[in-house]
Amino acid sequence: MLVSSNTYPKVSVIIASYNHAPYIEASIRSVMAQTYPNVELLVVDDGSSDESVSVINQLQREFGFDFRVQANQGLSRTLNAAIARSSGEYVAPFGSDDIMLPNRLALQVEYMRDKPEVGICAGSVTSIGPDGAPLGNDKPPHWRRLDFEDVFLNRKPGSPAATLLFRREALEAVGGFDPHIRLEDLVIELKITHAGWFIDVLGETLALYRVHASNTYKNYPFMVENVLMTFSRFSDHPAYKQVCANYRNSMFLKCARQDKTLARKLLRELPLRAWNKKTIKGLYRLLLPAKARERA
């Protein structure tokens, strides 16, 4: 059980739960097991149709955290409402299928306290399967600082969503999460870095990221729609068209084997001058018979 202490800045952890009944208990318990002594937990069930509410109710009786149930509002609106009720100097939105390592918040708060220029602190993750077993496919952790150009132009490896800790001041300065974009992490990172803050990614592993069938990044139409909508918020940037073309090329290559309809749509949106090696490889996958595509 967490013990509150006014000598430490408060961290508000917000879990928006949606149909993660098999995973939500491990997520909540990992927050309650943090070594950092001043944490408030707010859990919102956003219209789950599985057993999530029953599982969370049992944990709420054990730990006494703030728990609310609502009809589905979407992640960004849910986060904004919970942030408005919270009181932490730092805010950590956290996936209801992921797991915090015990020292995560202690490391991040200690790092951020004397660095007002850092609007977001992150770290590395270990990817695990549905059963919690490590997948063994993660790159070694390393420290890096990201500014707007790094994020928008994809110049450096990004910041894993399962590890993001926000300075409340930065969140409030940019108006919080964008309720019109359902992929919340990229747009908020761009908004905060565009406003002048940095994202620092620590050289430590801070969370376990769970890979399963319903991960958002596996929904290609969703990703394409929301990432391109995010980029459009910065259409005045000189590299905007190139950034969109690079993303379409990458997604065309990914979709060419599994979603031909979306792949053809992306190809139609790519001007010939924007074609590159990924385009050619994607065409090879798209046009070859199935067995040959599997080897491409």
pLDDT, one tens digit per residue, over 32-88 is 999 999 999 999 999 999 999 999 999 999 999 999 999 999 999 999 999 999 999
Helix (H) or strand (E) holding 198: strand 198-210
Instruction: Give residue limits of the domains in the chain.
Output: 11-210, 238-295
Query: Residue 248: is its pLDDT beyond 70?
Result: yes
Q: Are strands 90-95 and 165-167 parallel, antiparallel or unpaired?
A: antiparallel
The closest alpha carbon to 102, from 45, 36, 164, belongs to: 36
Q: How many residues does the chain have?
A: 296
Query: What is residue 5's predicted lDDT score, i.e. its pLDDT?
Result: 47
Residue 216 confidence class, pLDDT cut points 50, 70, 90:
confident
Token couple for 46: 């956003």
- Could you give the percent of the chain with pLDDT greater than 90? 90
Fold entry, domain 11-210: Spore Coat Polysaccharide Biosynthesis Protein SpsA; Chain A (3.90.550)
Tokens, residue 101 = 């390592």
Q: What is the mean pLDDT of the chain?
A: 94
**pLDDT for 218:** 85
CA angle 139, 143, 149 (to 5 degrees): 95
pLDDT tens-digit series, residues 123-162: 999 999 999 999 998 989 999 999 999 999 999 999 999 9
Q: Three-state SS for 15?
A: strand
What's the CA gap between 163 and 43, in Å, rounded? Answer: 17
Is a pLDDT exceeding 70 seen at residue 178?
A: yes
Contacts of 213 (CB under 8 A, 6+ apart): none
